[in-house]
Structure 1
Amino acid sequence: MKFKLGDFVRFVDEKREGYVTRIIDTQTLGVTDEDGFEIPVAMSNLTSVHGHGVVAVEPDAPKPIQVNVPGVNKIENGIYVAVATDDKAGNVVHFHLQNYSPNILLVGLITDRKGKYAGVFHGAIESYGSALVYSASLAELDLWPEFNFQMVVFSKADVKPIDPLVVRKKFRAKDFSTEQKELPQLKNKGWLIRLDDLVPVTIDPQKLKESFFKSSEEKRTVEAPQKEIDLHIEKLRDDHHFLEADEMLQIQISHFQTAMDAAVVHHFDKIVFIHGTGNGTLRDKIHKLISRNPHVKTYMDARKEKFGYGATEVVFK
């Protein structure tokens, strides 16, 4: 019989029950009883008790769970892993891949344990849907494999296709150092980790510079940016009153990225971005992009006496 972390089981040879909280080896499980003691038990000495514990999705037969769209307005569109605790099974956590976007995700999850690979999940996750993809014991965090998420973004709309996403994630203790929160669309508490923000950014300066030439005949070079770039939307678009919040943010991020790329091409020592304070969304976005840029040495609040906390100075290598 196949058991999973979180399963509620009963001992065959004695009157005792508990939850599977650790997989010790191929023949032995750690079962935590009602007194909180974890007992090593041979699988042959256990039987499942139906109607208890977590109903997990088998890796070879994933069943995406539909999520009501109105409930996701508190979370930014994106791809997340919700690491949910198990109220009954102690240190067990369950990984739910959550698709908070209008697209369909075709997903494959492969674990890498010191060069040994295992395919643990594959399937389609509908728009604003969720699927249970993995379970593990938080007490064995140091033994967890590296997670390789391979995702193809599919849309039925008339939009340009998005390149496939490959995200490699090795979970660390710092990922679970914050306070547990109520997870969207799940009954349990835990941690919410965004995946599509973890895609590594690699920039080839030569290819970047070449991309600014329209043709060899035109010999058109990229224009050097200003030393201070104002990202306030009223400075970028005259029609900003007619734009939605998401549209304004996208325009600001695009303007920021263009200026960053140009600064790299022109070998700037530093550049300042004026983003204002506001609700902090723009600041957080560009800080994430800056932190992943391989050409950045460091970044900090720029001239507080002039900008307060409304500007960021980027120092290049």
Structure 2
Amino acid sequence: MKYKLGDFVRFVDEKMEGFVTRIIDDQMIGVTGDDEFEIPVLASKVTTVHGYEPAGAKKAAIVDEKPVDLGVFEKKGIYIGVVTDVKAPSVVHFHLVNTTSFHLLAAFSTEKQQLFKGEFAGIIAPSSTEKIYSAQLADLQLWPLFTFHIVYNTKQNIESPLPLVVKEKFKAKDFSSTKKQVPLLNQAGWLIRLDEPDLVIDAQKLKESFFKPAEEKVVFEKPVSEVDLHIEKLRDDHQFLQASEMIQIQLAHFHKALDSAIVHQLPDITFIHGAGNGILRHELHKLLGKHPKVQTFMDARKEKFGYGATKVILK
């Protein structure tokens, strides 16, 4: 199949044109025109219209790495930015977003029903993006398992982190939140972070801590029902912290408060994260969605917090 989702094509035998919005099989595609109706057509009956570039098609130029101030060398910040096509809103494009100071050697593959396919391999320069995949948003339940392999590289005097391997099976809740501005793309979309470890609670170790001698037992102070994660509430020196340091401090405070709520068997706890750019909210929701002790979570009372707080119901 020579066509991809988002390609602009023209019918050979009719005065019609539109965007490829579905790959039906090796011979058939779905094309959506200005009337927003999708028409199934043989791939041999359309031709590419040259001169149109879908959103995100331009590749960032990779230049020789220049020395940077090691004091501002960003080690964290690898995301998947998912944005809708400007001309075909039913299609979403996946971009690998590198806000770190490393060059990333990235490989991306998919797996569905034991069928594996390499989708992308290349170098992502610091502070740049690369479009790696496209899909029909309506077919989300049919999307394959995504696997990302990322190796860090720099000519600077910086120790590179261990290679990153992330497997992701997207669900509807990953795209239920309000769109936010995706870094570097200057487009609204959904942001999924790849370089943060998932929260893993060792139930056995937590259980063992209850039977330690008094001098060894871990003490969890009972948390308040509302935990404010605004950085100015957590650190007096917040104006001197980098963005990556702030998010780490906020997430550490979140983990501590959540563990304490679980140990003290609170029925629920509310985290005040603010609206802002939505990164902290997304990180919390990602961790809560995979937490074995969380029954559900939702936006807290809007009349009190607006859209800046999340209420967590514990099991």
TM range (shorter): 0.5 to 0.7
**What is the aligned partner in structure 1 of residue 189 from structure 2?**
191
**What is the aligned partner in structure 1 of residue 124 from structure 2?**
125
- TM-score, L = length of structure 2: 0.66
- TM-score, L = length of structure 1: 0.65
Conservation of the 8 A alpha-carbon contact between 1:82 and 1:190: no
Conservation of the 8 A alpha-carbon contact between 2:9 and 2:47: yes
Q: Give the whole-Å Cα distance in 2 for the aligned partners of 1:54 and 1:117.
A: 26
Conservation of the 8 A alpha-carbon contact between 1:80 and 1:99: yes
Conservation of the 8 A alpha-carbon contact between 2:175 and 2:190: no
**What is the aligned partner in structure 1 of residue 90 from structure 2?**
91
| Residue identity matched to 1:82 | G
Q: Give the whole-Å Cα distance in 2 for the aligned partners of 1:32 and 1:236.
A: 51
CA RMSD of aligned residues (A): 4.8
| Residue identity matched to 2:41 | V
Please show how residues 47-62 of structure 1 align to structure 2 within 5 Å: 47-54=47-54
Identity of aligned residues (%): 44
Kindly tell me: are residues 85 and 176 of structure 1, through their superposed partners in 2, closer, same or farther at Cα, counting changes over 3 Å? same
Other structure's SS at 1:47 match: strand
Kindly tell me: are residues 154 and 205 of structure 1, through their superposed partners in 2, closer, same or farther at Cα, counting changes over 3 Å? farther
Kindly tell me: are residues 98 and 28 of structure 1, through their superposed partners in 2, closer, same or farther at Cα, counting changes over 3 Å? same
Q: Give the whole-Å Cα distance in 1 for the aligned partners of 2:89 and 2:279.
A: 39
Q: Give the whole-Å Cα distance in 2 for the aligned partners of 1:3 and 1:149.
A: 24
Please show how residues 46-85 of structure 1 align to structure 2 within 5 Å: 46-54=46-54, 64=60, 78-85=77-84
Q: Give the whole-Å Cα distance in 1 for the aligned partners of 2:285 and 2:16.
A: 53
265, 269, 278: which one pairs with 1:269? 265
**What is the aligned partner in structure 1 of residue 112 from structure 2?**
113
Count of residue pairs brought into register by the alignment: 289
| Residue identity matched to 2:241 | E
**What is the aligned partner in structure 2 of residue 244 from structure 1?**
241
Please give the per-residue CA displacement for 1:216-238, whole angstroms capped at 9, x wherever unaligned: xxx9835423324898989987x
Query: 1:106: Cα distance to partner?
Result: 2.9
Please give the per-residue CA displacement for 1:124-174, whole angstroms capped at 9, x wherever unaligned: 2222210000112234333322322333444545357256241313242x4
| Residue identity matched to 1:244 | L
Other structure's SS at 2:83 match: strand
Please give the per-residue CA displacement for 1:19-62, whole angstroms capped at 9, x wherever unaligned: 222211101122234444433222223322211242876xxxx9
Conservation of the 8 A alpha-carbon contact between 2:107 and 2:148: yes
| Mean CA deviation greater in 141-150 or 196-205 | 196-205
Please give the per-residue CA displacement for 1:164-191, whole angstroms capped at 9, x wherever unaligned: 241313242x44445556544436x542
Unaligned runs of 5+ in 1: 68-76, 212-218, 302-307
Query: 1:200: Cα distance to partner?
Result: 3.5
216, 221, 224: which one pairs with 2:216? 221
Please show how residues 290-309 of structure 1 align to structure 2 within 5 Å: 292-295=290-293
Conservation of the 8 A alpha-carbon contact between 2:124 and 2:130: yes
**What is the aligned partner in structure 1 of residue 43 from structure 2?**
43
Kindly tell me: are residues 193 and 274 of structure 1, through their superposed partners in 2, closer, same or farther at Cα, counting changes over 3 Å? closer
Please give the per-residue CA displacement for 1:254-307, whole angstroms capped at 9, x wherever unaligned: 46646766887xx54359999878778998566765564434567899xxxxxx
Other structure's SS at 1:221 match: coil
Query: 1:241: Cα distance to partner?
Result: 7.5
Q: Give the whole-Å Cα distance in 1 for the aligned partners of 2:275 and 2:132.
A: 34
Kindly tell me: are residues 157 and 260 of structure 1, through their superposed partners in 2, closer, same or farther at Cα, counting changes over 3 Å? farther
Q: Is 1:202–2:197 an aligned residue pair?
A: no
Kindly tell me: are residues 255 and 132 of structure 1, through their superposed partners in 2, closer, same or farther at Cα, counting changes over 3 Å? closer
**What is the aligned partner in structure 2 of residue 305 from structure 1?**
none
| Residue identity matched to 1:7 | D
